[in-house]
Copies of this chain bind each other. A is one copy, B any other.
Amino acid sequence: MGNAVSIKDLARKFKCAPSTISRALNDHPMINIDTRKTIQEYAHKIGYQKNTISLSLLNKCSKTLGVIIPSISHYHETAIIEGLEAILQPAGYLLNICVTNECHALEKEYLNRLYANRVDAICISLSQETFDHSLNEHIDLAISRSMPIIFMDRFYHESDVDRVITDDFKGAFLATEHLIHMGCQRIAHLHGPKGITVSQQRFRGYQVCLKKYGREVDDELVKQVMFSPESGIEAAKSLLDQEIKPDGIFAVNDEVCFGAMKVIQERNYKIPEDIALVGFDDIPLSAFGPIALSSVSRKSKKIGEQTAHLFLSKMNGMHQHQQFTLEPELIVRESSQRNHYS
């Protein structure tokens, strides 16, 4: 890559100053129309392409957005990326995507590397380790360097930050309420990793809904899981091994729910008659499994789009912090649709 043709090369070729070439290529008004045409044609012919690195240096603007996410293996994250790209590609931006695997050290390292590269802003969904140990110096450092930070999903500051999140509380509330409406008496919850905001909010939605309908929150019906089907399997087994078995399960996400579904079917319970199921995230496959899964859609792509818009507004000089909370939507399918209404 050391032999790319530059504006200086063109200047030599045309025996003129680099500035003339620059003006010709940028359709500057104060340039002779013939020289402009000649230069443009020649530049196009030999495949000249502006080196945007020098522009980044000059303009202190790299036309690049840094994205730090804990994982990229779930629908939610990829949909966010799709949403970001849908808005930012037409705006001329590129995305630097960094996956932390829930590791704080990596998050810190990436944050620094993105700053070194002077990306125009960083969108971040915090890692679990960052949460668990309330580690936030790296974020504070980035902010003190006046790097714009936009939180997606997982944030820790209560105010004074830009963020785009889903109303997980409401989503969980809707899911639980739906199970109540379907006549479920003993609604279990598969609770996500503790430190993470989304897990907490979903659990809270579940709790508050039960209380609103006069139900007790039974600790035996709340199991801790990771965001994986394996974990859902374990938790479901433990639920079904208990004396008090659930007749409805609200899981922290769809992967967990798939795991639970497998166990339930293996033990010959019927879905949704014996046990109704509702997941979270509305992953594409949830509609196409042998039993279509009910799920709370958190409009993942929209999170990306909204984040992109927030970012663009910041680039346009909006200095006030903005916080968006998107509305989730309950999608009812076979796994929870009963004819029995209470």
Interface size class of A (residues with CB under 8 A): 35 or more
Once A106-B89, A118-B53 are accepted as A-B contacts, the answer to whether A288 and B146 lie under 8 Å apart by CB is no
Number of identical protomers? 2
Interface string of A50-62 (1 = CB under 8 A from B): 1111101100111
Q: Is the CB of A288 within 8 A of B258?
A: yes
Partner of A47, one of B47, B144, B261: B144
Stretch binding the partner chain, chosen from A73-81, A124-132, A200-208, A213-221? A73-81
| 8 Å CB interface, A108-130 against B | 109-110, 112-118, 120
User: Cβ of A230: which chain B residues have Cβ within 8 Å of it?
Assistant: 288
Contacts of A233 in B (CB 8 A): 288
Stretch at the interface among A23-31, A94-102, A243-251: A94-102
Query: Which of A1-9, A159-167, A183-191, A305-313 makes up part of the contact surface?
Result: A1-9
Q: Which residues of B contact A85 (CB under 8 A)?
A: 98-99
Nearest CB to that of A77 among chain B residues?
Answer: B78
Does residue A317 face the partner (Cβ distance < 8 Å to B)? Answer: no
A342 on the B face (CB < 8 A): no
Among B61, B82, B92, B96, which residue has its beta carbon within 8 angstroms of that of A1? B61
5 A/B residue pairs, CB under 8 Å, sorted by A = A1-B60, A73-B75, A73-B284, A92-B113, A95-B98
| Chain A residues packing against B (C-beta within 8 Å) | 1-4, 47, 49-54, 56-57, 60-62, 64, 72-73, 75, 78-79, 81-82, 85, 89, 92, 94-99, 106, 109-110, 112-118, 120, 141, 144-148, 229-230, 232-233, 255, 258-259, 261-262, 265, 284-285, 287-292
Having A1-B147, A81-B99, one finds 10 other A-B pairs with CB under 8 Å, namely: A1-B120, A49-B115, A51-B118, A52-B118, A54-B57, A94-B113, A229-B284, A229-B288, A230-B288, A259-B288
